[in-house]
Structure 1
């Protein structure tokens, strides 16, 4: 016969979790989640409860559930199960063993309401203001880059693909609304170039491999000093990296005007734009067509790479630690997913920076 856990049993287990380094407990100590309440309540526009019915869950509690989801790459159903199962999740949410836990549908509805309200920008900016108030100002210039984010591949006919390219909705989809709701009309195919693997004889092919990829693209600008994401944008996977530079990706509040980026951002339009806006370009120069790279440019690019490569750690963290992937349909929901991933990355980065400062 299994014994019911007593109060002290639960406390002992939580103490052990703390000793093992509970990341969520560190989040609770470091991040003031109450700062998000005004933006959440504005986006959700909760009623005052005078009409009766079951009161909604606290919006900050629900937002913390989205943080848990993002940290652990969980579906709504898995999130519901693990909140009921894990003491660390309950402690983070401030729930007791007998408290009501939001079900998967409630989590979906909460996220959907935030998505349709376009709330993720405000939530990101709210936390960025918190970072600035804590002394983490954008400093030492900024680094721009983009990464591909996978989405479930679509099985479409050639005619349906042609309609998508032309911005039309297939007649078959229009006749079947349930089918249309599962079709992602915003994600796109592109080619992902990666270094070819070493051959059996030990040689490495000179050409890169081009791998078909379906999904979206996350564009970010991080500050060089603290490596926090300061600006971001979501597009389909086929969108040009360079064009995003002129679409609000540059942070004008950085204490230094220097911009680092790879050759995808090198164009006359971008160079003219940055000069006009008062930025100093450290964007990699491209190799001349059918000519060897001049030695001085090669050396200059190598020096820029030492700094520019720091942005790769941001994407590596998001994909290895939180498994960044798009489960939903459409760019509006993909933007919400990537926006949450950027907020959570900045939270995790804040924890790291605070630990460094504590031991300085």
Structure 2
């Protein structure tokens, strides 16, 4: 990233800058706020190994630009995937793909875009409409493995680019599950996307069931987007695609570290024994005959105790168990009706009670 032969001030430590960007992604802090919190919080200083010099906001922006210009983002991502494979988390055959918006401040709509644009808002951002909602900014496309639920690849594009225009290079052995937006996408692996109604295809019962099965598998792909929203990474103030790639690199690493912690907890947990597992080996009379005898003896003892308890209760509370035969049932008699009013009928010529 840096040329050490040139003259000038020495650059800051690369690991220090990378850790500061990680704190930004975790706590959703701006460049100015991170440097203020580093000076105030002891936990941040401990995480950064108590640096002698704290970088400024301009050095953070320049570091983010250098990551995009030098192409070191791909190298970092390759090393991260290599570390995952060394730990045993290899890419599974079944993959999930989905996209989400990174909304940005639009500013004035008539302002020019591109590299020549003099705007503080977004230079590369574009606008689109989805489900009658207006979105402006960028879009993140990511692929997740179904077995470990870890992010394997990601791309940052503008918001107006359709999902079917994205391609990812995977082997033919892999299966890619996608929603209806990926119809027509060209993948090297087998595309198992959901179907929608068109002139060529009619959605019958079998295809509806197929879409339902794919949607159940695809439910896990929404988890990273939920964590991005939790940490405030679904909104961006950066103006170019390269800067947003550097930002979302840290966000994806943050999600993968969280998922690795959950996978380690699942490994360390003792598996809960079911009834089938506990009594699986008890039904073999040749090996576990004394265990069976103990179980039968305990069951008979429990039955005998229950019978004895019932007898004691009968003697104590005799009236609850045996009905008193001396009590005779009384016949129900009709109660006489009470007439409150008298009325005279002119046609009949007599009065009656009502």
Superposition TM-score, scaled by structure 1 size: 0.68
- The residue aligned with 1:266 is 183
Correspondence for 2:236 among 286, 307, 326: 326
Report the CA distance shift for 1:153/1:352 in structure 2 as closer, same or farther (over 3 A).
same
SS at 1:180 equivalent: coil
* Among 300, 310, 324, the residue aligned to 2:220: 310
Report the count of equivalent residues: 270
Show the counterpart of 2:108: 155
- Paired residues of 2:100 and 2:140 also in contact (CA < 8 A): yes
Q: Which residue of 2 aligns with 1:202?
A: none
Distance in 2 separating the partners of 1:291 and 1:47: 61
The alignment status of 1:139 with 2:56, answered yes or no, reads no
Instruction: Give 2:133's aligned residue.
Output: 211
Give how far 1:227 is off.
Answer: 1.2
8 Å Cα contact 2:104/2:122 also seen in 1: no
Question: What residue number does 2:324 align with?
Answer: none
Distance in 2 (CA, whole Å) between partners of 1:305 and 1:250 is 23
Is structure 2 residue 122 aligned with structure 1 residue 184? yes
Higher helix share: 1
Shift of 1:339: 2.4
Residue 52 of structure 1: CA displacement? 7.0
The answer on 1:121 being equivalent to 2:74 is: yes
Contact preservation (8 Å) 1:231, 1:250: no
Matches within 5 A, 1:191-340: 191-193=129-131, 210-244=132-166, 247=167, 249-252=168-171, 256-267=173-184, 270=185, 273-274=186-187, 277=188, 279-288=189-198, 293-340=203-250
Q: CA deviation at 1:81?
A: 0.7
Q: What do you get for the CA RMSD once the two structures are aligned?
A: 2.5
The question of whether the paired residues in 2 share the 8 Å contact of 1:258 and 1:281 is answered with yes
Alignment partner of 2:236: what SS? coil
SS, match of residue 35 in structure 2: helix
1: CA distance between counterparts of 2:190 and 2:65? 40
The TM-score normalised by the length of structure 2 is 0.70
Distance 1:52 1:214, change over 3 A: closer
Contact preservation (8 Å) 2:121, 2:237: no
2:20 pairs, out of 49, 58, 65, with 65
- Name the SS of the counterpart of 2:19 in structure 1: helix
Query: What per-residue deviation string (whole Å, max 9, x for no partner) do you get for residues 246-279 of structure 1?
Result: x3x24339xx521100011112xx3xx44xx4x3
Structure 1 alignment gaps of length 5 or more = 1-43, 194-209
Render the CA deviation track for 1:267-315: whole Å, top value 9, x for unaligned.
Answer: 2xx3xx44xx4x3332101124599731111111001111012101111
Structure 1 position 48, deviation (Å):
6.6
- Contact conserved, 2:233 with 2:251, CA < 8 A, in 1? no
CA drift at 1:82: 0.9
Residue by residue, what CA displacement relative to the aligned partner does 1:83-140 show, whole Å, maximum 9, x if unpaired? 11212211111117xx332222222222222222222221122111111111110114
Select between 78-87 and 346-355 the one with higher mean Cα deviation.
Answer: 346-355
Quote the Cα distance in structure 1 between the aligned partners of 2:109 and 2:192. 42
Instruction: Quote how far apart the aligned CAs of 1:148 are.
Output: 0.7
* Contact 1:223 1:229 survives alignment (8 Å): yes
The higher-RCO structure (CA 8 Å, 6+ apart) is: 1
